[in-house]
Structure 1
Amino acid sequence: MLIKLIVDNFKSFNKETELTMIPSNKTRKKVDHKISVKSTPLLKYAVIYGANAAGKSNLVEAFNFIQYSVVKAIPAYATTMFCKSEENNSKRASTFELQFTVNGKFYAYGFSLILKERKITAEWLYQLYQNGTAKTLFERELGKKPQLGEDVLLEKVDEIKLQTYLEDFDEKSNMLFLSFMNKEKKYNPNSKMFFFKEVFNWINENMEICTPQTSLTSFEYYYDDASLTIINELIKTFDTGISKVSINEISRDEFKKELPESIFDNLMEELKKKLEESDNKKFKVSMRSHNSFFNIENTKNGELKVSTIKLTHGNSFYDFKFKEESDGTRRLFELLDILLNKSENKVYVIDEMERSLHPKLTSKFIELFDRLHPDQKIQLIFTTHESTIMDQELFRRDEIWFVERDKDNNSNIYSLDKFKERYDKKLSKAYLEGRYGAVPVFTSFNFKEV
């Protein structure tokens, strides 16, 4: 679970900015939103409000940047992502840090770099303890080889491995050491170096980040009978007009009509290679676009089977394709994955949660998320403009955040918990009135005819 995100000199965030999932001692409501890990309570939600261009999406982008940098590499487009409100920021290091818990351990992993040059200036990993102390697992400085902490005592075999790895590692490269230590390397779970794997896997697998350009949906649940039954029950509660969701096999010709010819030909070539490499073993590939999705798997006789979603509306004589549904309905199908997820320690980070959804659908989704994940170690962090869900029956005060830009065009983030308000106050009304900031401020405009 996420404990804290820290970011500095990134896009609209000029100074060190912190989003914390640690609950406030002042907030007494919604105690069920506090999830304890070894007696340390963490919050279930972070709901982030702000005007357009206030910096909400940049906060989500910070999560995305960290994950991409660790799993793949420092992206080429990073050179323009420093905060541009001050001239010196192009030469000043940007800092990123995640604090989180996995398998009962608490970690702080971070790195700093000159974004314009994609040059890593520092990297660190600490194990945190509940008494406020920390143990250094590794540290790295500019131009120097990474070093393990003095308290990390390796077995002889691991010590030899580490020395070999360090000889291969180029400290001047733009690759993070955490990434390097997970590149084609295996660790015994009992190894003192297993933290490299544990931390990398959490960042890679436990953070699910969804922007308007990406999708959460894998559609794996639609191929499980038990999950499909739940999906059908859920979709009816949202009043979309859909009465039944099922999986429908389609012919190769039907599939071909759905794709541009060049994409179809390239796909068939790739699938042919995959079929040859699979050695008659089972494989399944899912394709997803904004308008449709397809699942492709091999059969026993070596042929390809293509299937897609089929939707029934009430007593309608004809079925509907996924692409025939509204943006809001397709969006809802994306979010169903979150409701169906049963794995622990997931953190969903979603930009524009309410995109294409009616306010009541957004509110209903939150209610279902609460009901389906009552004691699960799972968190939902999302940006939104939807003031109608700013309700103390849905969220705690310390789960509601605001982002606004100051006079220098820098983003600042703060929690509703810093305001002293009566608990019966209508939060959404106060927010729209500008009581908490983070709303658009319009100037007058005189139109003159030419």
Structure 2
Amino acid sequence: MLLSFRVANHRSIRQEQQLNLHPVYDDDRPPGTGWEAVPVAGVFGANASGKTNLLDALEYMARMVVSSHRDAEPDGGILRHPFLLDDDAKGEPSWYVADLLLDEVRYTYGFAVDDDRVIEEWLDSYPMNKKRELFSREGDSVKPGASQDTRELGLVESITEPNVLFLSLAARSRQRDFRPVYDWFARRLQFRRTNEARMPYRLSAMRALEDADRHPEIMDLLRAADLGIEGCGMERVVLDEENLRRQYGGRRIPSRLLRELEDEGPREGVRPWVGHRGRNGVVQMDLHDESAGTQALLEQAPRFLAVLRRGGTFVVDEIDASLHSLLTARLIKLFQNPETNPHRAQLLFTTHDPSLLGRRDGDDILKRDQVWFVEKGEFGETSLYSLTDFKPRKDENRERRYLGGSYGGIPFIDESFTEALLRRGGGTGQEAETQRQAQVQAAQSRD
């Protein structure tokens, strides 16, 4: 479980910013949970404000932990992404720090790097809430904690290059204290990037249909999405040319499959289908006949549900890129409920969708301490801040206040831009303002 994440000098993040996931309001917690961190956190902000860069920083940290020993060339330096709009930042280190709760023990791990080497690195644990230093590093010098095998870690130190993280290699030693943190970055922290949301869904959607029998919650989610779906699955079919053309839905059939068909003749394969309510009963439709939204849900739902089953932290950039807000709200609700989230899984996402600040079925989609905003300053630096900084009332209409600009984190179009568009006859500025006013009115109507 991620308790907090701090980063400095990474892409548009100049000064240290902290995403603190500790709960703030006890009356927003589901009764009897005692979760040490919020299960959901949504980051809102205008385009190019730095939302993605915050998630990119966490992914960069994970990539360094898992593969710095494989990726680094001797004397090859470190690939990093410092803030580019300040000449001083290029010569300063980039910092990454994560506070974790793993098997009821808190850990703090962090490192600082420049273009050439690891400047600092450290790992502390807090069994029984007492600090225990596991190791600390300054440059090439590593100091093992009092509880560690000095000889064993000395061997690890001797093979650690200046541009490689000590944790990446120490986790492979016989010292078990390092494995929980390494394993969290390697296995329990997962990312869905923006470009993945726009990729073709076919293969992953087919896997979802294959898993539908073993994981009935996939079907439950499809039914709850009110897509008119009554069933789904796979059936065995003879893969002749006609069935291949049906499966590929008018798209070009790979020449390899056509050659195999010509050389070996028809063979047995599978046909994915989705059953819809019809006037005369359930009608089985081919997967390629489904809407992009249905295919997106089939592609994404198994990943959300897998995290809920196993635990871990799922990081999603632009969660609303391919899912309707009602579906997104339902997926969020699964993480909020201890019955559907027994392993304290977490969902961290960015979004442009202000409706997620509203309510569904009488409950807040996001609690007050689960909402974060990013803004860019005059010189391009990203600032991250929490809704809790505004001390919001539990019953206030947060969607309306956000659209009205009370919290910041929304795009600002000055009058000169609007007037320039109007002079050119486009009317785009007025249309944008009209659309914003319509969103505010819609939020007011939901109050």
Band the TM-score falls in, shorter-chain normalisation: 0.7 to 0.9
Post-superposition shift, 1:33?
A: 8.1
Q: Secondary structure at the match of 1:42?
A: coil
Within 1, Cα distance between the matches of 2:240 and 2:118?
49
1:42-191 superposed matches below 5 A: 42-73=37-68, 79=79, 81-114=81-114, 117-128=115-126, 131=129, 133-142=130-139, 144-149=140-145, 151-154=146-149, 160-170=151-161, 172=162, 174-182=163-171, 185=172, 187=174
Supply the distance in 2 between the matched residues of 1:409 and 1:44 (Cα, whole angstroms): 31
Alignment of 1:344-359 (within 5 A): 344-359=310-325
1:196 matched to which residue of 2? 178
Q: Give the alignment of 1:253-264 within 5 angstroms.
A: 254=244
| Whole-angstrom distance in 2 between the partners of 1:411 and 1:33 | 36
Aligned to 2:223: 236
- State whether structure 2 residue 401 is matched by structure 1 residue 424: no
2:435 alignment partner in structure 1? none
Residue number in structure 2 paired with 1:301: none
Give distance in 1, aligned partners of 2:164 and 2:379. 33
CA contact (8 A) 1:113 1:122 kept: yes
Following superposition, the deviation at residue 243 of structure 1 comes to 2.6
The range that moved more, 73-82 or 424-433, is 73-82
Partner of 1:206: 188
Partner secondary structure for residue 37 of structure 2? strand
Structure 1's unaligned 5+ residue stretches are 188-192, 269-303
In 2, distance between residues paired with 1:124 and 1:262?
A: 53
Instruction: Identify, as 1 or 2, the structure richer in helix.
Output: 2
Q: 1:247 aligns to what?
A: 234
Residue type at the aligned position of 1:140: R
Structure 1 counterpart of 2:41, one-letter code: A
CA pair 422-390 structure 1, distance change in 2 beyond 3 A: same
| CA distance, structure 2, for counterparts of residue 359 and residue 3 of structure 1 | 27
Q: 2:273 aligns with which of 310, 326, 330?
A: 310
Between the two proteins, what is the percent identity of the paired residues?
A: 25
Separation of aligned partners in 2, 1:252 and 1:152: 65
Paired residues of 1:63 and 1:209 also in contact (CA < 8 A):
no
Q: Shift of residue 225 of structure 1?
A: 6.2
TM-score, normalising length from structure 2? Answer: 0.77
User: 2:320–2:328: 8 Å Cα contact kept in structure 1?
Assistant: yes
Tell me by how many angstroms 1:53 deviates: 0.8
Deviation readout 1:105-126 (Å, 9 max, x if unpaired): 1111111111xx2522111111
Shift of 1:348: 1.1
State the alpha-carbon separation in 1 of the partners of residues 153 and 113 from structure 2. 24
What whole-Å deviation, never above 9, does each CA across 1:299-319 have from its counterpart, x for those lacking one?
xxxxx9865632233348974
Aligned match of 1:2: 2
Report the AA paired with residue 272 of structure 2.
Answer: I
CA contact (8 A) 2:82 2:94 kept: yes
Instruction: Give the superposition deviation at 1:9.
Output: 0.3
Aligned counterpart in structure 1 of residue 407 of structure 2, from 417, 428, 436: 436
AA in 1 matched with 2:16: E
On the 8 A contact 1:7/1:18 being kept in 2, the answer is: yes
Q: CA RMSD in A?
A: 3.4
Q: Are the counterparts in 2 of residues 48 and 403 from structure 1 also a CA contact under 8 Å?
A: yes
In 1, Cα distance between the equivalents of 2:44 and 2:78? Answer: 26
What runs of 5+ residues in structure 2 fail to find an aligned partner? 261-266, 426-447
* Inter-partner Cα distance in structure 1 for 2:402 and 2:322: 22
CA distance in 1, matches of 2:151, 2:255: 50
Change in Cα spacing, 1:198 to 1:433, as seen in structure 2 (3 Å) is same
Contact 1:227/1:340 (8 A) holds in 2: no
Which residue of structure 2 lines up, in the alignment, with residue 272 of structure 1? none
Q: CA deviation at 1:72?
A: 1.9
Residue identity in the other structure for 1:381? L
